[in-house]
Amino acid sequence: MRPLNSLKNALFNSLYRSSIISTAFATIIVCILVFLSIEKDLREEGKYLGQLVFKELRQAMNRGASYDEVNQLIDDLNRSAPDVSYSMYRGEGVQSQFGLGRNLTEEISQHLNGQNDATHIESLDKIHYFRAIQFKQECLQCHTGVSTGDIAGVLDVSFPASRVRIPITEVLMGLFLVFSVTIISSYLALSTDLLSHMITPLQRLERKLKETEGHHDLDEKLELGSNLKEILSIEHSFNAQQELLHQAFQKVEEVSIYDKLTSTYNRHQLDHLFTEETVRAMRQQKPMTIAMIDLNGFKQINDTHGHQAGDEILIHFCSVLTKNLRITDKVIRYGGDEFIVLLPDCKRDEAEQLFQRIERITTAEPYHYKGQVLFTQFSTGIAEFPHEADSENGFDLIQTADERMYKEKQRKKTRNVK
């Protein structure tokens, strides 16, 4: 069973999820921006400091300063800026020739990775900027066994992370992106929830209402696919009303199609059924027979035994009639004690034999009413379509069958009188 939720809670949960999503996206974007800003500022800060120090060292080396003098210069620089530390690492070419100084480690080489400079965050407080010092053409006057472009050493400038300052433009850009992501993610989260829990169910309800207007699929249940209490209440109410409407429509349909007393088709269906059978007969190139039936002595039964007896005689006769007809044959109550029977794929002589047999059955099995035997004899007039039709639609055969039924009725009455 689906868990129920109210519309109020659903909107609250949607806002809650959207805030979580937007916060997560905002955090990621801020971290990326901060990292990129720090990385950029690290390079600028380290490059600036490195150039100043390298300029001092270059001037000292050009003056022919010794290794101790260079170290002294670096110590003086470290004392002048206590929060910044400078260190020099010598490459293999310098080490092999002079043999003094800090060796260039593999770790620092990996940080450079073939670049001229690189940044490295050692901890949350300490940051390193590495600047590679390459041999130039004028350096070859003193250094041997090396080439232009080889690494002479690496200048390591380490300074606290507090020196890094993020530009205001990047802060504003970060705030704008965070705001944009928050709005977009909230909109997407709300749109998704509204679409799945409200808009789509209401669209299904709209389609179902249109189907109901055309009396289509009244027995099909509506499923809105939402777990909101309000939407489910609409679903249950609609299905209940749909069931009542379906039952009412079935009753109306039965009243409009069938005769309430005999359960045969009523006269309003005659034109539709007759046209349907004549069209089928023309399409299949097969005959269709119409039989007009009238109960003999029915008025006398009504006058003698009452209308209750007459109604029971009609019910009994229709029961016998339908039991001896095919499922494709159609019985229509034309009025009072008159009936029309449509027999598709049946010739006139076959129909005559059929009703002679039914007449023998009704004579042999009379209806008993309050201990009295009431016969249900009848007269029949038969006409065949299309052979006996004078018009394309064949409706003139109803008159033909009626006239033949009347002659048969007169013949039996004359015979009974004799």
Mean pLDDT by 10 residues, the chain (418 residues): 54 69 72 64 64 70 68 74 74 70 76 77 73 76 76 78 60 70 72 70 73 63 68 76 73 76 91 93 94 92 89 92 94 94 96 94 85 85 92 89 94 72
pLDDT at position 1 is 43
Tokens of 56: 């001092």
Query: With DSSP H G I counted as helix, E B as strand and the rest as coil, what are the percentages for the chain, rounded to 5?
Result: 60, 15, 25
Query: Does residue 189 belong to any structural domain of this protein?
Result: no
Q: Residue 326 has what pLDDT?
A: 94
The answer as to whether 377 is a domain residue is: yes
* Residue 148 falls inside a structural domain: no
Question: Are the C-beta atoms of residues 28 and 174 closer than 8 Å to each other?
Answer: no
| Kind of pairing between the strands at 85-90 and 102-103 | parallel
Exposure of 8 in the CB half-sphere (CA atoms within 13 A):
0
Angle between helices 7-62 and 67-80 (to 10 degrees): 140
Give the count of beta carbons closer than 10 Å to the beta carbon of residue 10.
21
Residues 317 and 342: their CA atoms lie apart, in Å, by 17
Beta carbons within 10 angstroms of residue 191's beta carbon: 13
Residue 306 lies in a domain: yes
Residue type (1 letter), 272: H
pLDDT reported for residue 62: 67
Q: What is the dihedral of CA 113, 114, 118, 123, to 10 degrees?
A: 20
Distance CA 325, CA 48 (A): 110
pLDDT, position 321: 93
Residue 112 placed within a domain? no
Task: Tally the domains of the chain.
Answer: 1
In this predicted structure, what is the pLDDT of residue 260? 87
The CA distance from 399 to 418, in Å, is 29
Q: What is the pLDDT of residue 418?
A: 47
H-run or E-run covering 249: helix 229-257
**Domain range holding 349?**
267-417
367 located within any domain:
yes
Give the domain CATH number at 364. Answer: 3.30.70.270
